Structure 1
Amino acid sequence: MHSESMDVSPHGVRALWRKARGYPMSDSARHSLAVQLGDQLLEPADVALWEEVADDDSVPLEFLFAGANDGDQLAEVLQRVVEDRLQDERRAEFRRHLKQRQESALRRRKASAAEEGDAKEEKWRSYLQKPAVEANFQVHAVFDAGTRMRKVLGCRVSMSAEAARDLGKICFRHVFESDDEEKDRLQALKWYEDPFLSCFYGCSCVLTVVVVLWLCMLLPAVVRRF
């Protein structure tokens, strides 16, 4: 569901959140957006768009927390958790861009990489010129969204389009991340940070060990027969 470019207007970001409906949140997003309410550590069951905010400049989102007993502090704690998580994401993005720029500077020493280096340098300048993102996080309501059998608390909030898009990349990266962003992120990953490669190499090692053990058991029997 990636696209070459993303519409970062409130309308465009809302459209992306509509696309994300029905997809499960990533496990890492659930863990990083967990809220501590007393002795309860609650992970969000879902984050989705809701449509009842009149402000066209913001993106309205609804968090659902299963098992919550008391929502008195939910709004304040959730705001702090979301804003901290967005800051972490921006710091990680800055480090990723800085690393790419440093690697590009090394490659520019070679004449064949001059054009690529210029493109990377231009991307770095464009990134530095981007204005700081203001979350404009606002809580509208905390409500009981559960049943008699299951306690669920909902928290309806709104935030700026830029912050909502960053949150979307945390929760539903496959929907909110553009092709270029995905390419840059994957290029910055080490092999052990890539889930696919980690699984592939891990399985390959296990299979290799199994084959070696099988050969060790088989060869003595073959030698005795001959």
Structure 2
Amino acid sequence: MLIGAALAAAAQAAPSGEAQVTAAARKLLLEQAERAGWRAPQVQVEARPATASRAPACAHPEARALDTRSPSRMRFELSCPESDAPGQVFLVRAKLSAELPVAALPLPAGHVLTADDVAVERREITPGAELFADAEEAVGRAAQRSLAAGQVLGPRLLIEPLLVRRGDTVQIHARREAVEVVVPGQALDAGRRGQTIRVRNVANGTVIRARVVEPGRVEPETMLSSPR
């Protein structure tokens, strides 16, 4: 009698299968959001048992993820930790949202974004979406196409602007140990920050490959130059 009463009390105290799986799925998604750097993430989770599965025959089953590729359709299993018997499978539907940078107003293609062009609004995060987690990531980038107000911003929509255009006069900054030499050059290609372009050294006519650092400034990719 006492043992039966204790088991009944434990069963009443333990969370239901749906609640246990829901908590596990929520914890998993929030951990993923933290690693991704999402701002103020929120998760909505709904779990229901799969029709062909049965509840595990133990007092304290554990929830484990089976498939979490898409938050809108995940699979978890509730099983006994010390048993190889199949557990109860749950289908889980979840929505993950966060405060994301969006276009504060309509923006034309080629426009370089300033802080005033970016707002932060709560949006749902869909699987595979390439989005900026912080507004500062969008500032200083150029719109690849026209953007609507409220459009969520990401690297597919915004790129580094051209800092050097073909024919521009640039300064070639070459450093060896503590000595820096600056000579005038002419850009033979257009380039964005970090890209390597061809630059002609105006002083001697040689052409080098140089990395774009900022508007009007490049650094040699290598100290070797080739005549052309």
Coarse TM-score class (shorter-chain normalised): under 0.3
Question: Normalising to structure 2: TM-score of the pair?
Answer: 0.18
Q: Structure 1 or 2: larger helix share?
A: 1
Question: Normalising to structure 1: TM-score of the pair?
Answer: 0.18
Q: Structure 1 or 2: larger strand share?
A: 2
Which of 1 and 2 has greater Rg?
2
